Structure 1
Amino acid sequence: MKMNNPKSNYTLITGASEGLGKALAIECASRRMNLVLVALPGSELHSLASFIRRNYFVGVLSIEKDLCRDESCRELFNEISSLDLNINILINNAGIGGTGLFENGSIDLYEKQIRLNVLATTLISRLFIDMLKRNRSAYILNVGSMASFFCLPKKQVYGATKSFIYFFSKTLRRELKQNNIHVSVLCPGGMNTNPAVTLLNKTGNYISRLSIMNPEEVAPLAIDGLLKGKPVIVPGRMNRVFLVLDKMLPEKIKDLLTGSTMKKINPDHSLVRYLSVVAEPGSGEQAIA
């Protein structure tokens, strides 16, 4: 744990050492926000914190914590509370992805996905509610996914966890509105955060290439949307177009394209490849492609 220049208000970001989390940290620092950055032990977290201190001159606290571990969320809260810091923005970004048939997946992976994507987000939000309430205005940004909206084979557990994040965020927004806590859910598509997505970016067709964004492009859109109080933030024109098309297509057609009959479609089929890209952003520092 390292800290310098503690000030009154801090933005807490989980999964902050790489990918979207790192981009969000730098974006917030560029807006003069003090930061509490959380990531796995052994990550590049402290290097990132040092970089931000040198270049943006804001207060930075870096905490290495495996949020899949029992009691880790409570430990994180107690650690921050003991330093008498005030969190006025909470960004739940850490998450684990994964692609494959359900029957072939490991119990360990599924347990980690649910613990990190669902349980950690829920517990951290609950633990910091009272602190957020003390602010005149506070914000929660939960990182979901385009997978929140689609039933995709080989992304069944990941998609289900992100659907939870979507509905949890929308419900929490209604509950906390009276306390001036603004809750938003970010639903990005594919991003160049791991080799698998980068490969799809290079080899995919024109539509799939249009859908992919860099974390550095998503981060400012996410923070802009959060501070403007948007309930759902979907970055990228192609992703928004695809959501409209999804509402227009009959269920039978969607089943043909993305459901039980996907086995009949060549894995290199352009739509299958496009759906695979837009469904999993690989947002957190613990992401598994």
Structure 2
Amino acid sequence: MMHYYTLITGASNGIGLEMADYCASKGMNILMISLPNENLEEKAINISEKYKINTSTFECDLTDVSEIDRLKEWGLDKGFEVNFLINNAGFGGTIPFEDMSGGLIDNMIGLNITAGTHLTNRFIPILKKNAPSNILNVSSLISNLVAPYKALYTATKTFVINLSVSLAHELKEDGIIVSTLLPGATPTNKVVMDQIEKGNFAARVSVMSPRKVAKIAINKSLKGKTIITTGTKNGVIRNLLKSLPNRMIAAIAINQFKKKTRLEKEQ
């Protein structure tokens, strides 16, 4: 295990940081990736000292595809042998689609879709060489569902799950397990915590700590699970929502998310 590395994007906080910590607790060496100025080096040192494993950091903007190429070259130059790729970086929001700026649209598509797609593409040859290996892509509990006021977010996360499931079949014979994580509401920052508190019953029931999400995700991915829901309750919620007509899901979403956008504008 000491020879290989797990590469985690969005590793400076939230689920990504907890994934780094939990993987390290299992003896994995960690490559932590995030935007600059997020205290990444200090967090990596803490994890390294805590679990006596190797960590290294790389700061970049993953929405810039040239930075993804630079990340790959950095890893190759350093001799890091990656056998677990975790595409965790991403973001969302609750906002009318017409109110989204061009920059916000580009950034959401760039981080939620383009970054993970290019990273996966670049690292498949490395993962094949180091097989058996894993790819874990982070989608959402509400992917593939109708979600007014979260239209672009759910569209990007639907792309993630569809790409991942197809790749799971495509890469199986190469010894690469591809898993997709579908987390529910996860309190990763104050904004999200406020939204959960003001959310409906389903949102509150689906809440799980970043640490628990990370532990479930890593363990199930290592066991070869293709679709990973975080806990029985979230599995029930997803199956229930998938069984409802789109018009009913849309009505629920409008009632919930429109209220959130109104609250955000008032604050």
Report what 1:267 is aligned to: 259
The structure 1 residue matched to 2:241, chosen from 223, 238, 246, is 246
CA spacing shift, 1:234–1:264, aligned 2, 3 Å: closer
**TM-superposition CA deviations, 1:29-62 (whole Å, max 9, x none):** 0000001110001012111101111111101011
Secondary structure of the corresponding residue to residue 147 of structure 1: coil
CA distance in 1, matches of 2:258, 2:83: 48
Letter aligned with residue 131 of structure 1: I
Cα shift at 1:203: 4.5
Report what 2:127 is aligned to: 132
The structure 1 residue matched to 2:67, chosen from 69, 72, 76, is 72
CA distance in 2, matches of 1:264, 1:16: 30
Which residues in structure 2 correspond to 1:206-285 (within 5 Å)? 207-258=202-253, 262=254, 267=259
**TM-superposition CA deviations, 1:152-198 (whole Å, max 9, x none):** 11111111110000000000010000001000000101111121221
User: Would you say how many aligned residue pairs link Structure 1 and Structure 2?
Assistant: 261
Report what 2:23 is aligned to: 28
Tell whether the 8 Å contact from 1:96 to 1:112 is kept in structure 2 after alignment: no
Report what 1:191 is aligned to: 186
Which residues in structure 2 correspond to 1:27-176 (within 5 Å)? 27-176=22-171
CA spacing shift, 1:82–1:150, aligned 2, 3 Å: same
- Gaps spanning 5+ residues in structure 1: where? 1-5, 274-289
**TM-superposition CA deviations, 1:108-130 (whole Å, max 9, x none):** 01101111111110111011111
CA distance in 1, matches of 2:255, 2:224: 41
Q: CA RMSD in A?
A: 2.1
Cα shift at 1:96: 2.1
Cα shift at 1:26: 0.2
**TM-superposition CA deviations, 1:91-145 (whole Å, max 9, x none):** 0000121220111111101101111111110111011111111123000000111
CA spacing shift, 1:60–1:169, aligned 2, 3 Å: same
Identity %: 38
CA distance in 2, matches of 1:90, 1:15: 12
Letter aligned with residue 133 of structure 1: K
Structure-2-length-normalised TM-score: 0.92
CA distance in 2, matches of 1:220, 1:256: 34
Tell whether the 8 Å contact from 1:14 to 1:37 is kept in structure 2 after alignment: yes
Query: Which stretch has the larger CA shift, 245-254 or 154-163?
Result: 245-254
Secondary structure of the corresponding residue to residue 236 of structure 2: helix
Tell whether the 8 Å contact from 2:184 to 2:234 is kept in structure 1 after alignment: yes
The higher-RCO structure (CA 8 Å, 6+ apart) is 1
Secondary structure of the corresponding residue to residue 125 of structure 2: helix
- Gaps spanning 5+ residues in structure 2: where? none
Cα shift at 1:244: 1.8
Secondary structure of the corresponding residue to residue 10 of structure 1: strand
CA distance in 2, matches of 1:162, 1:156: 10
Letter aligned with residue 142 of structure 2: A
Cα shift at 1:200: 3.5
